[in-house]
């Protein structure tokens, strides 16, 4: 029988639980209930046994670094989610939105290659199982207002504020002329 490991850690915005296969994170969210995350997984993973661990190694370390201010800490953390081709493209696209920046659902659809598929892009956010590693919290309404987030708008606001406060300014290079 396949086994998935899970761990919950305290964060400044509340408990964060991750579920991992040997290769990647398969679920994550602001909850202490791994069963609620496990039940949302694709069918093959739903039958896997859950095994609690104190830490999930690199996954837990990266999360700690993110909450300490290193907003790129989980950029290279592998994730696996199962969906159709467009949903999977949306999830990959979400990971390309820089920390501290937001896009609208319309912009997300265009970035994912289907500008007319705004509702499908929004579904990609709603069905994202690896929050906040796949940062659906960086997507806002057309008017810039916060729209739904599975773990509540207060958590979404906290994440966006955290990223804005810890964002590294983009370097501006000045061209100099030598005499």
Residues of the chain with pLDDT under 70: 169-179
Q: Which residues in the chain are classed under CATH 3.30.160?
A: 3-67
Q: Which residues in the chain are classed under CATH 1.10.10.10?
A: 85-166
- Residue 107 confidence (pLDDT): 97
Closest CA to 28 of 101, 133, 119, 160: 133
Residues marked as catalytic: 136
**CA atoms within a 13 Å half-sphere pointing along the CA-CB vector of 103:** 22
Residue keyed to tokens 């940062």: 135
Q: Compute the radius of gyration of the chain from its Cα atoms.
A: 17
Q: How many CB atoms lie within 10 A of CB 28?
A: 26
pTM of the model: 0.88
* DSSP designation for 28: E
Could you report the per-residue pLDDT of 49-94, keeping only the tens digit for each? 999 999 999 999 999 999 999 999 999 899 999 989 999 999 999 9
Q: Is 17 exposed, middle or buried (0-12, 13-18, 19+ CB in 10 A)?
A: buried
Q: What is the fold, at CATH topology level, of the domain defined by 85-166?
A: Arc Repressor Mutant, subunit A (1.10.10)
Q: Which one is the CATH code of 3-67: 3.30.160, 3.30.300, 3.30.70, 1.10.238? A: 3.30.160
CA–CA distance, 30 with 150 (Å, rounded to integer) = 9
CA–CA distance, 123 with 128 (Å, rounded to integer) = 8
CA–CA distance, 126 with 151 (Å, rounded to integer) = 11
- Residue 20 confidence (pLDDT): 96
């Amino acid at each position: 029988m396949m086994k998935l490991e899970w761990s919950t850690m305290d964060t400044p915005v509340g408990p964060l639980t991750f579920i991992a296969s040997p290769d990647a994170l398969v679920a994550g969210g602001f909850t202490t209930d791994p069963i609620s995350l496990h039940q949302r997984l694709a069918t093959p993973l739903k039958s896997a046994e859950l095994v609690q661990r104190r830490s999930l190694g690199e996954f837990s370390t990266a999360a700690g670094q993110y909450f300490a201010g290193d907003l790129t800490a989980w950029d290279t953390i592998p994730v696996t989610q199962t969906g159709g081709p467009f949903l999977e493209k949306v999830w990959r696209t979400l990971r390309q939105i820089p920390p501290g920046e937001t896009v609208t659902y319309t912009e997300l659809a265009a970035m994912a290659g289907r500008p007319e598929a705004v509702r499908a892009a929004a579904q990609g956010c709603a069905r994202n199982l690896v929050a906040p590693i796949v940062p659906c919290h960086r997507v806002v309404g057309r008017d810039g207002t916060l729209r739904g987030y599975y773990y509540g708008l207060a958590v979404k606001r906290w994440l966006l504020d955290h990223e804005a406060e810890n964002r590294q300014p983009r370097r501006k290079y000045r061209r100099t002329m030598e005499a």
